[in-house]
Structure 1
Amino acid sequence: MTAEPLNRPATPAAPTSTPTDEMPTGFFRHFHTPRVVFGQDITLRQVVFALFLVFCLTPWASPPVALALGLVLAQTVGNPFTTHTKAFTHKLLQFSVIGLGFGMNAHAAVQAGKEGILFTVVSIFGTLILGYFVGKWMGLGRHVVHLISCGTAICGGSAIAAIGPVLRAKDEEMSVGLGTVFVLNALALFLFPPIGHALAMTQNQFGLWCAIAIHDTSSVVGAAAAYGNQALEVATTVKLARALWIIPVAIGTAMLFKQKGVKITIPYFILGFILAMLFNTFVPAYVPAAAKLGPVMTHLAKIGLTVTLFFIGAGLSAKVVKAVGVKPFVLGIVLWVVISTASLYVILHAA
Structure 2
Amino acid sequence: MTTPNENPPKKSILDKTITTREVIFMFFVVLCLSPLISPPIALLMGLVIAQFIGHPYLNLNHKATHILLQVSVVGLGFGMNVHSALQAGKEGFTLTIISIIGTLILGVFLGKVLKIEEKISFLIASGTAICGGSAIAAISPVIKANEKQISVALGTIFILNSVALVIFPFIGHYLNLSESQFGLWCAIAIHDTSSVVGAAGKYGTHALEVATTVKLARALWIIPIALLSTFIFKNKETKIKIPYFIGLFILAMIANTYVPLIQDFSHYITGFAKATLTLTLFLIGCGLSRKVLVSVGFKPLVQGIALWMVISAGTLWAIISLI
Say yes or no: TM over 0.5: yes
Are residue 231 (structure 1) and residue 207 (structure 2) matched? yes
C-alpha distance 197-39 of structure 1, shift in aligned 2 (>3 A): same
3-state SS of the aligned residue for 2:17?
strand
| Matched residue, 1:157 | 133
- Distance across 2 between alignment mates of 1:181 and 1:219: 11
Matches within 5 A, 1:269-348: 269-284=245-260, 289-348=261-320
The corresponding residue for 1:251 is: 227
2:82 and 2:281 mapped to 1: Cα distance? Answer: 27
The equivalences for 1:193-212 within 5 A come to: 193-212=169-188
Match of residue 130 from structure 1? 106
TM-superposed CA distance for 1:39, in Å, is 3.0
State whether residues 257 and 263 of structure 2, in contact with CA within 8 Å, keep that contact through their aligned partners in structure 1. Answer: no
2:52 aligned residue (76, 82, 101): 76
**Does residue 184 of structure 1 match 2:160?**
yes
User: When the two structures are superposed, what TM-score results if normalisation uses the length of structure 2?
Assistant: 0.95
Q: Match of 2:131, SS?
A: helix
Structure 2 counterpart of 1:44:
20
Alignment of 1:1-12 (within 5 A): none
SS of equivalent to 2:238: coil
TM-score by length of 1: 0.87
Deviates more, 1:49-58 or 1:242-251: 49-58
1:63-115 per-residue CA deviation (whole Å, 9 max, x = no partner) reads 11111110110010111111233221101110110000000000000000000
CA RMSD of aligned residues (A): 1.2
Deviations 1:289-323 (A, max 9, x none): 33222111101100110111111100001111101
CA gap of 1:346–1:67, structure 2 versus 1, over 3 A, is same
- Please identify the structure whose Cα radius of gyration is greater: 2
1:50-89 matches, cutoff 5 A: 50-89=26-65
Name 1:263's counterpart in structure 2. Answer: 239
Unaligned residue ranges in structure 1 (runs of 5+): 1-35
Number of residue-to-residue matches in the alignment: 312
Aligned to 2:3: none
Matched residue type, 2:201: A
Aligned-pair identity (%): 57
* Rounded Cα–Cα distance in structure 1 between residues aligned with 2:109 and 2:71: 37
Task: Kindly state the Cα deviation for residue 271 of structure 1 after the two structures are TM-superposed.
Answer: 0.3
Cα deviation digits, residues 198-250 of structure 1 (max 9, x gap):
11100000000000000000000000001000000000000000000000000
CA distance in 2, matches of 1:230, 1:275: 19
1:251 corresponds to which letter in structure 2? L
Q: Which amino acid aligns with 2:185?
A: W
**Partners of 1:37 and 1:51 in 2: CA distance:** 22
